[in-house]
């Protein structure tokens, strides 16, 4: 059966030490017992991780590629991540720099249900960057969010996304809020002929999640925002695999920062916010944009965008969604950087005058459309 | 309503910069919009985070304590963590060093259902360190795990814990494995009169978790192992709150390493593996032991143990459970370090001769009991 591979960057002072560390990871991530007590046969031959490659990267830095059996992961995305980086995440000087699922794991985790083309079809924006204003702040009432959402439809938003901080606070319980926004957006869509999509932020205890997913689908939501750092990546996979639910997923990076921030541990930006989100089945990956209030570099943002959109998989290409610090003045710069297949989150800059959020959204639409004229279709 | 507080360690070159960063966190973690557009009244007065304290710690390092409204978190543990460190986790130079839930959040998140006294009552070990051998490696069949588990009961184990890598692999599906181990342990308990507990590793897609919890309870499991880094801390809270299920929870650190490894970001060891696990409702917190194959220091391990067992809460004191590198030769050293209220994981060292796992467990029991003679009851 086709094994999947994970590439780790390791601190080690020699090839021997790098190989020993890699063999330690191969044990740790699978059997978790010393090599001399691994049962011979199937466990040693198939289940045990296998060091496929060791290469020097720089002084004291090595790269190891380890292959794992699909049998070690089974059919659960959670267990797949457990094999990729469960216990090794706790050891110093190990960073995941690539994950290649191979054909067998790609069959089990086929990726986004909608992808870029599917999202464009749903919202009717065939070319150009997409605009996703964010409903916030927490503490408002459902009627407030409903008014903001209607304004966003009138302004020409492609997706109305909820702030990841809207859960089920006493001022706006999850169900009341979703119902109010759905009703306001249906009315605004009928008035404008637009197809603006609504992605509420999934909220609830684990035993409420299934009911809440059915509820938001029946209420008329068009997709769902999920925080895999808090709810688990398995939830993204579970939603993406559900043909009856048939909802696109936007993933939010909340609580995931420590995985990328320290260069010597964790997971590379493109792997965490690109490859692993895409393989889990996210259609849109939100990440902190360069130049905003987070510290990602342009190179890190482009690594994410590339991993989201690589034409050769895994699964359908998905939409990168840079958030933070986007405004009309940066539209041309952002388009030059990201190209067309991108969803721009618009947050605080829209809320200076909530009653005129429609004008703020349409100003951003015009800024993006100006930048698109004369540009070739596709990514920059 | 009593606010909860979070203390952050910040990089900043002056008090002014530290205050500005703290005010940025207070905005980021709640309203996520610029200060000048925060609606006056309830949102500004109650929902917005409030900087309560700024203190210098060292050259270029400051400590800020920020209070948050219980209304910002609602009743969901996931949203509580989202307020504690959701987006701020993605900013460089911010580390959570303390979380004080205060009376209101402690009422919503009352902590462990069983705690130290409850676990001791369940397994009948009134004094001394507790022993928890681990069923592994993945790739074995249910009958193999059943035999190992029976040996552990005969050897005098307090808890038989499954390896966190046992999910629902083809060689040992979750339900078949749990049933086989439950049956073998029931027989061994009847033969020995012991009360050894069984904690299977919770597995499943999010839409299977509820069924799997009911299944393992009905099959006769005595508790459950959960990986909050992969399934979310909300799942721990959901299980701990369930009076019908009435199962103790052991939490495993898989995938959580990056939160603690980089000193300049993430969450302090005691907060992540102590305070936050305890508040979520874990009864036993597994963490990598000093001197094993992970790099935690003795001070970091004791910070965790202290946070787990502090008599003044939040909630009942819980059991720290150091894993990795424990063996008979280290028993005296470990007892001197951790005292009596501790669960020792025993892994690879038991499996040198699987047919004699009972002897290996009882050798560890004797080593711990020798160390206990003459020592006062309680923590070292």
A236 contact B CB<8A: no
Q: Which of residues 334-353 of A touch B (CB under 8 A)?
A: 347-348, 351-352
Task: Report how far Cα A328 is from the mean position of its chain's Cα atoms.
Answer: 24
Answer yes or no: same fold for B4-108 and B115-372: no
**For B42, nearest residue in chain A (alpha carbons):** A139
| Residue found by looking up tokens 């979380």 in the block | B99
Nearest beta carbon to residue B32 from set A163, A229, A258: A163
Highest mean pLDDT among A116-130, A286-300, B338-352: A116-130
Residues of B within 8 A of A326 (CB-CB) are none
Locate the chain A residue with the closest alpha carbon to B96: A258
CB atoms B170 and A71 under 8 Å: yes
Instruction: Label residue B5 by pLDDT band (50, 70, 90).
Output: very high
Interface of A with B in 29-58 (CB under 8 A): 29-34, 36-39, 42-43, 46-47
Nearest CB to A90; choose among B37, B207, B257: B257
> B380 falls in which pLDDT band (50, 70, 90)?
very low
Looking at the partner chain, which of A37, A266, A288 has a beta carbon nearest the beta carbon of B258? A266
Q: Tell me which of 3.40.605.10, 3.20.20.110, 3.40.50.300, 3.40.50.620 is the CATH number of domain B115-372.
A: 3.20.20.110
Is A197 within 8 Å of A158 (Cβ atoms)?
yes
The alpha carbon of A239 is separated from its chain's Cα centroid by a whole number of angstroms, namely 13
| The pLDDT value given to residue B372 | 59
Superfamily for the B4-108 domain: RuBisCO large subunit, N-terminal domain (3.30.70.150)
Distance, CA of B236 to CA of B111 (rounded, Å): 10
Question: Taking a contact as any Cβ pair under 8 Å apart, which residues of chain B between 99 and 128 contact chain A?
Answer: none
Of B284, B235, B253, B277, the closest CA to residue B122 belongs to B284
Q: What is the mean pLDDT of residues A91-113?
A: 97
Q: Given an 8 Å threshold on Cβ–Cβ distance, is A82 in contact with B203?
A: no
For the full predicted model, state whether its pTM sits above 0.90: yes
- Which residues are CB-neighbours of B213 under 8 A, at least 6 positions away? B202, B224, B239, B245, B247
What pLDDT score was predicted for residue B377? Answer: 44
Decide if B293 and A24 are in contact by the 8 Å CB cutoff. Answer: yes
Domain boundaries, chain A: 4-108, 115-372
Locus of tokens 């439950």: B182
pLDDT at B374: 43
User: Mind listing the pLDDT tens digit for each residue in A107-133?
Assistant: 999 999 999 999 999 999 999 999 999
pLDDT above 50 for B123: yes
The pLDDT of residue B348 is 77
Please report the ipTM that was assigned to this predicted complex.
Answer: 0.96
CB contact, 8 Å: B292 with chain A?
no
Q: Which of A112-126, A182-196, A230-244, B318-332 has the lowest mean pLDDT?
A: B318-332
| pLDDT band (50, 70, 90) for residue B291 | confident
The count of other CB atoms within 10 Å of the CB of residue B51 is: 18
- Give me the pLDDT at residue B370, please: 87
Tokens of B71: 């209304």
Confidence at A372, pLDDT banded by 50, 70, 90: low
Cα–Cα distance measured from residue A55 to residue A299, given in angstroms and rounded to the nearest whole number: 23
Q: Does B73 touch chain A (CB under 8 A)?
A: yes
| Interface contact A297, partner B, CB < 8 A | no
Q: Which residue is associated with the tokens 């009717």?
A: A124
């Amino acid at each position: 059966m086709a094994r999947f591979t994970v590439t780790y960057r390791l601190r080690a002072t020699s090839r021997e030490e790098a190989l020993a560390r890699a063999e330690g990871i191969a044990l740790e991530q699978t059997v978790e017992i010393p090599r001399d007590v691994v049962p011979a046969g199937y466990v040693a031959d198939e289940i045990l991780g296998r060091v496929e490659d060791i290469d020097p990267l720089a002084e004291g830095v090595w790269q190891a590629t380890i292959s794992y059996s699909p049998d070690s992961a089974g059919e659960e995305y959670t267990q797949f991540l457990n094999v990729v980086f469960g216990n090794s995440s706790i050891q110093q000087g190990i960073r995941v720099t690539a994950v290649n699922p191979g054909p067998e794991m790609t069959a089990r985790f086929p990726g986004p249900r909608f992808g870029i083309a599917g999202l464009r079809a749903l919202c009717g924006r065939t070319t150009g960057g997409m605009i996703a204003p964010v409903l916030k702040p927490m503490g408002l009432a459902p009627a407030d969010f409903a008014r903001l959402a209607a304004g966003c439809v009138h302004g020409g938003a492609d997706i109305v996304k909820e702030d990841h901080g809207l859960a089920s606070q006493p001022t706006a319980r999850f169900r009341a809020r979703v119902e109010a926004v759905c009703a306001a957006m249906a009315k605004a869509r009928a008035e404008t002929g637009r197809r603006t999509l609504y992605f509420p932020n999934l909220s609830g205890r684990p035993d409420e999640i299934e009911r809440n997913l059915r509820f938001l689908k029946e209420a008329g939501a068009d997709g769902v925002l999920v925080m895999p750092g808090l709810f688990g990546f398995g939830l993204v996979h579970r939603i993406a695999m559900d043909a009856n639910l048939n909802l696109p997923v936007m993933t939010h990076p909340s609580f995931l920062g420590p995985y990328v921030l320290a260069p010597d541990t964790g997971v590379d930006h493109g792997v965490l916010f690109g490859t692993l989100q895409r393989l889990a089945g996210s259609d849109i990956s939100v990440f902190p944009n360069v130049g905003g209030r987070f510290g990602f570099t342009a190179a890190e943002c482009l690594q994410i965008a590339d991993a989201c959109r690589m034409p050769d998989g895994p699964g359908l290409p998905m939409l990168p969604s840079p958030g933070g610090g986007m405004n009309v003045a940066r539209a041309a710069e952002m388009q030059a950087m990201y190209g067309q297949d991108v969803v721009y989150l618009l947050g605080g800059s829209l809320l200076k005058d909530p009653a005129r959020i429609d004008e703020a959204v349409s100003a951003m639409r015009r800024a993006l459309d100006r930048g698109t004229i004369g540009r070739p279709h596709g990514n920059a």
